[in-house]
């Protein structure tokens, strides 16, 4: 089964299960309060980190360097803000992991190593010479 389809089906089930379990332990009002507080704090911190990333990107551009990390980081912060808006504890945890710079950098390093290893195996090094022939020209 497609992993994206599987996650679309399983994430709401896990979130509902956790909301019921945590709500039965600490109470419904406190659970709702926690959901709203994680969304408010997360969005505020996402805005703060987004502005820092934008500032860092402009610094990279002023040095005539490509702000590749900043672009990926900005996309991750936007995705984290979306996860923090969605009610639930699992999405909030993943969202906070993507917002904090230290954990975001660790996640990026893990994924970049995975893609570097797979990219090296798919290329063959070689040379070519372009030979132009009058017979090859089509009119």
- pTM given for the model: 0.75
Nearest residue to 100 (alpha-carbon basis) of 67, 53, 56: 53
- CA distance linking residue 43 with residue 33, whole number of Å: 15
135 part of a folded domain: no
In this predicted structure, what is the pLDDT of residue 120?
53
Q: What is the DSSP string of 64-128?
A: T---HHHHHHHHHHHHHHHHHHSSSHHHHHHHHHHHSHHHHHHHHHHHHHHHHHHHHTT------
> Tokens standing for 3?
């992993």
Indicate whether 72 belongs to any domain: yes
Query: Would residue 132 count as lying in a domain?
Result: no
**Can you tell me the distance from the alpha carbon of 84 to that of 104, in angstroms, rounded to the nearest whole number?**
15
Structure tokens at 18: 């956790």
85 in any annotated domain? yes
Q: Kindly report, residue by residue over 33-85, the tens digit of the pLDDT.
A: 999 999 999 989 999 999 999 999 999 999 999 898 899 999 999 999 999 99
The pLDDT of 104-114, averaged and rounded, is: 86
Domain contains 97: yes
91: pLDDT strictly greater than 90: yes
Q: Which residue has tokens 């906070």?
A: 96
Tally of domains within the chain: 1
The mean pLDDT value for 97-113 works out to 89
Asked, for residue 34, whether it belongs to a domain, the answer is yes
> Domain range holding 26?
11-116
pLDDT at 109 over 80: yes
Average pLDDT over residues 7-26: 93
pLDDT at 94: 93
The rounded distance, in Å, linking the Cα atoms of 28 and 77 is: 29
């Amino acid at each position: 089964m497609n992993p994206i389809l599987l996650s679309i089906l399983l994430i709401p089930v896990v979130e509902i299960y956790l909301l019921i379990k945590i709500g039965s332990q600490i109470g419904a009002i406190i659970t709702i309060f926690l959901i709203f507080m994680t969304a408010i704090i997360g969005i505020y911190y996402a805005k703060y980190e987004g502005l820092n990333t934008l500032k860092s990107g402009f610094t990279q551009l002023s040095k005539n360097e490509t702000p590749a990390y900043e672009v990926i980081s900005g996309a991750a912060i936007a995705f984290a803000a979306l996860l923090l808006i969605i009610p639930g504890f699992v999405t909030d945890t993943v969202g906070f992991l993507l917002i904090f710079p230290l954990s975001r950098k660790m996640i990026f390093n893990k994924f970049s190593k995975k893609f570097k290893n797979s990219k090296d195996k798919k290329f063959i090094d070689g040379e070519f010479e372009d030979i132009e022939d009058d017979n090859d020209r089509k009119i």
